[in-house]
């Protein structure tokens, strides 16, 4: 199988390549794609060198499937061309996620809805993925009425330029405004803005989490509010989650459901100060949950803390799990 990775030089693209190297997925050739400045550079994959190409030439290389992680603008341009040529795309950007004809997939939750007709499959926002991994089984049993979310999102969620900004700040290297990933200093700071502001005062990131959660859970009735915050952590998003259920629950049932959720690890032992932190989830594919406790201020409510590696389960791992599902279930259009 020929797999094109668009955005191979980015944080997500590199992580996809790294995970694929060690995986059992049958890929005989990769087609590395990046922007024009990297065309011609060599990429090593499973002991073979491949030259980076640009999107303009991708059809000449006849990919069977494309993993796209180069941002929404590029996705909007290239995806129609790829699907016209019967090439399936798994897209990490937000470009198609809310399109009613495009499925938004977290394999543990809803891969079963995929069919051969799905030429473009969207990977959800990194924060949405880890949130839903933690709560989807609770929703099935106790029905979530309302979610109040505060996120603490790593700079790696912004891409490679954010890491450069943080290191430059730490080394007192001055950057031009154009080079900076954030308008403000990020080291020793937190920024309560991720993506642009919308008319209702929310950021686009906050609305993505809200809309994508409803779409994947297939439930428009859940009430959700979110505040998304950027923190100077290099890898690993955290979410403080307050959940109000329709039904009453026992805390030990919540622990048991989470413990038995595929892809989730319960790390909650306050007697020994054990809870998940970004530093511990680095390079892990699972989503970690701790600090589970009753919300004593509100009926049928609890709080929890969800942490995951945003480049793995939040992006690369989830996309590769989708690819694995497509291959194993013979769903690929080619
Ligand atoms: N980072 C995360 O945690 C995360 C999680 C979920 C989803 N995502 C999404 O994944 C995508 C990539 O994120 P990232 O963090 O990997 O960003 P990044 O580190 O900034 O990398 C961006 C990639 O896109 C490539 N690119 C830019 N312009 C291009 C063009 N005209 N043609 C082909 N490739 C082009 C870049 O190539 P050059 O190096 O040549 O410029 C680079 O490989 C974004 O849509 C992002 O929203 C990211």
Mutation choice for ligand 1 from 5, 7, 91, 312, CB with most ligand atoms inside 8 A: 7
* Ligand 1 mean position, distance from CA 85 (Å): 23
Which structural domain range is residue 168 located in? 127-309
Q: Is residue 236 assigned to a domain?
A: yes
Q: Are residues 97 and 76 in the same domain?
A: yes
Q: Are residues 107 and 184 in the same domain?
A: no
- pLDDT score, position 184: 97
Annotated catalytic residue: which of 55, 126, 136, 139?
Answer: 126
* Ligand 1 mean position, distance from CA 299 (Å): 43
Q: Are residues 174 and 261 in the same domain?
A: yes
Q: Is residue 7 assigned to a domain?
A: yes
Establish whether 136 is a catalytic residue: no
CATH code at position 295: 3.30.360.10
CB 128 within 8 A of CB 216: yes
Q: Are residues 196 and 118 in the same domain?
A: no
Q: Is residue 334 assigned to a domain?
A: no
Q: Are residues 93 and 190 in the same domain?
A: no
Mention every residue, 6+ apart, whose C-beta is less than 8 A from residue 311: 11, 12, 15, 126, 156, 235
Rounded CA-CA distance 287/136 in Å is: 13
Q: Are residues 87 and 137 in the same domain?
A: no
- pLDDT score, position 334: 61
- pLDDT score, position 332: 83
Q: Are residues 161 and 276 in the same domain?
A: yes
Q: Is residue 80 assigned to a domain?
A: yes
Q: Are residues 304 and 321 in the same domain?
A: no
Q: Is residue 323 assigned to a domain?
A: yes
Annotated catalytic residue: which of 55, 136, 139, 237?
Answer: 237
Q: Is residue 50 assigned to a domain?
A: yes
Question: Residues lining ligand 1, judged by CB closer than 6 Å?
Answer: 6-13, 33-35, 37-38, 55, 69-72, 74, 92-93, 126, 156-157, 159-161, 310-311, 314-315
Q: Are residues 182 and 217 in the same domain?
A: yes
Closest by Cα among 209, 201, 94, 195 to 150: 209
Establish whether 237 is a catalytic residue: yes
Q: Is residue 102 assigned to a domain?
A: yes
Q: Is residue 333 assigned to a domain?
A: no
CATH code at position 36: 3.40.50.720
Give pLDDT tens digits for 11-26.
Answer: 999 999 999 999 988 8
Supply the residue whose CA is at minimum distance from atom 20 of ligand 1.
159
Regions of the chain short of the pLDDT cut 70 = 333-334
Supply the residue whose CA is at minimum distance from atom 29 of ligand 1.
35
Q: Are residues 34 and 59 in the same domain?
A: yes
Q: Are residues 117 and 132 in the same domain?
A: no
Query: What is the number of domains present in the chain?
Result: 2
Angle between helices 126-142 and 251-259 (to 10 degrees): 130
Rounded CA-CA distance 59/83 in Å is: 11
Supply the residue whose CA is at minimum distance from atom 4 of ligand 1.
157
Q: Are residues 295 and 189 in the same domain?
A: yes
- pLDDT score, position 26: 87
């Amino acid at each position: 199988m020929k797999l094109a990775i668009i955005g191979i030089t980015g944080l997500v693209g590199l992580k996809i390549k790294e995970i694929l190297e060690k995986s059992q997925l049958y890929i005989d050739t990769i087609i590395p794609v990046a922007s024009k400045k990297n065309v011609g550079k060599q990429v090593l994959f499973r002991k073979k060198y491949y030259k980076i190409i640009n999107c303009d030439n991708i059809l000449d290389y006849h990919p069977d499937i494309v993993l796209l992680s180069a941002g929404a603008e590029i996705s909007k341009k290239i995806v129609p061309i790829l699907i016209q040529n019967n090439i399936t795309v798994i897209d990490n950007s937000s470009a198609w996620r809310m399109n009613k004809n495009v499925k938004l997939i977290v394999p543990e939750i809803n891969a079963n809805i995929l069919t051969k007709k799905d030429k473009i499959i969207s990977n959800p926002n990194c924060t949405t993925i880890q949130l839903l991994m933690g709560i989807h089984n609770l929703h099935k049993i106790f029905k979530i009425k309302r979610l109040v979310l505060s996120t603490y999102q790593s700079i790696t969620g912004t891409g490679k330029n954010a890491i450069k900004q943080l290191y430059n700040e730490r080394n007192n290297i001055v950057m031009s405004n154009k080079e900076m990933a954030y308008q403000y200093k990020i080291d020793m700071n937190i920024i309560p803005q991720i993506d642009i502001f919308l008319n209702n005062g929310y950021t686009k990131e906050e609305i993505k989490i809200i809309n994508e959660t409803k779409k994947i859970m297939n439930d428009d009735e859940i009430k959700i509010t979110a505040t998304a915050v950027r923190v100077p952590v290099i890898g690993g998003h955290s979410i403080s989650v307050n959940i109000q259920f329709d039904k009453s629950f026992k805390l030990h049932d919540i622990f048991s459901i989470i413990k038995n959720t595929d892809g989730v690890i319960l790390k909650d032992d306050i007697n020994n100060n054990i809870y998940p932190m970004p530093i511990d989830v680095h390079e892990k594919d699972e989503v970690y949950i701790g600090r589970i406790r009753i919300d004593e201020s509100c009926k049928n409510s609890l709080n929890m803390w969800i942490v995951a590696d945003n480049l793995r389960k939040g992006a690369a791992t989830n996309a590769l799990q989708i690819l694995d599902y497509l291959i194993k279930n013979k769903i690929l259009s080619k």
